[in-house]
Structure 1
Amino acid sequence: MSVYLPDILLQVPRIPVVAVGLPLALGMLSGTPTRDAVKGTWYNSLAFPPGRPPSTVFPFVWSGLYMSMGYASHLAIQAHDSALSPDVQNALSKGLLLYYAQLTLNCAWTSIFFVQNQATDSVLMTGMSLYMTKLFHGPTGGRTTWFLAPYCAWLSYATYINAGVWWLNRSPSTRRGLRKD
């Protein structure tokens, strides 16, 4: 089955500054609610699993990851444009579709968790990113993997944190429930 991507989604990663800037800008916008939420009573009443980094780390880590994944999309579109095989082009198109889908989920996660005070399942986002990395790996000679592996690792770690928050705050009898009362 052939994957169709609208032309605009193919054009964005062709320009390196746009490819890097788009996820960075979206990440900054989606992170805006986070600044206030981490100071709020709901967030600070949650129990967290061991190994949670300080809040000051997140803006730096995410900025680097957003730029890195954006550059990987640029490398993927270059491979797409130079691929001679329709199967390789289709795999890269599928990977780019997953790129945009996981980026959308990534941006939505902040709002779901911090604004709606709901623990969300980041397993889907992590799985999509791992599969996207696999699809990009061969056609780019592994170059995208260098840029996406840290992102996949961080998402796996974030999934651990999310699962830990859910687990530690799941009991309705505790004052640390995930829903606002």
Structure 2
Amino acid sequence: MQRYLSLLVFLVLVLGGGLLIGYATLPGAWYASLAKPPFNPPNWVFGPAWTLLYVLIAVAGWRTWVREPKGTAMKVWGVQLVLNFAWSPTFFGARMMGPALVVILLLLASIVLFIVKVWNSDRLSGWLFVPYAAWVAFATLLNASLLLLN
């Protein structure tokens, strides 16, 4: 029972934190006014995509915490979450696309590092981060394109 309570804590932390930051830093008129690349997805895609990704992030973090709560993989998981939560306030809140690009590049690196760290010990957690890595790689390209176009 306690094990599943800890899963609930991870879900609340990650999903709740991500949704809270997302609502606090909605794109708004500034983002709407930016020149966008042709591959820019419609705004409605981001909410469902991030909701699913936050669940995957939480489950991978929980599995890692259960296995080795003070290990390197758990520390890398924590770093990626901090970077994840820092991107929206940097990009949308502060409207600083250059620093946001640095944040998202570090985020992508930490996601890949997490996959590498857990791959041999918990392949499922590694796979849970693969869609996250793909989405953040796309978001990195989008961030860089927006910076170049604006």
Does the TM-score normalized on the shorter chain lie above 0.5?
A: yes
Return the alpha-carbon distance in structure 1 between the equivalents of residues 106 and 4 of structure 2.
Answer: 23
* C-alpha spacing 1:15/1:44, structure 2 compared with 1 (3 Å): same
Q: Deviations over 1:94-120 (max 9, x none)?
A: 121111111111111111111111111
CA RMSD of aligned residues (A): 2.1
- Structure with max Cα Rg: 1
TM-score by length of 2: 0.88
1:39 CA drift (Å): 3.0
1:78 CA drift (Å): 2.8
**Aligned structure 1 segments of 4 or more residues deviating by more than 6 angstroms:** none
Q: Could you list the runs of 5+ residues in structure 1 that have no partner in the other structure?
A: 1-11, 82-89, 170-181
Residues 68 and 74, structure 2, Cα contact 8 Å, conserved in 1: no
1:14 CA drift (Å): 7.6
Residue equivalent to 2:89: 111
Residue equivalent to 1:168: 149
1:13 CA drift (Å): 9.4
Count of matched residue positions in the alignment of Structure 1 and Structure 2: 145
Matched, 1:39 2:24: no
What residue identity is the alignment partner of 2:28? K
Q: Could you list the runs of 5+ residues in structure 2 that have no partner in the other structure?
A: none
- Aligned residue for 1:52, secondary structure, equals coil
Q: Deviations over 1:37-57 (max 9, x none)?
A: x331x2122111221111111
Return the alpha-carbon distance in structure 1 between the equivalents of residues 128 and 19 of structure 2.
Answer: 19
Q: Which has the higher helix share?
A: 2
TM-score by length of 1: 0.74
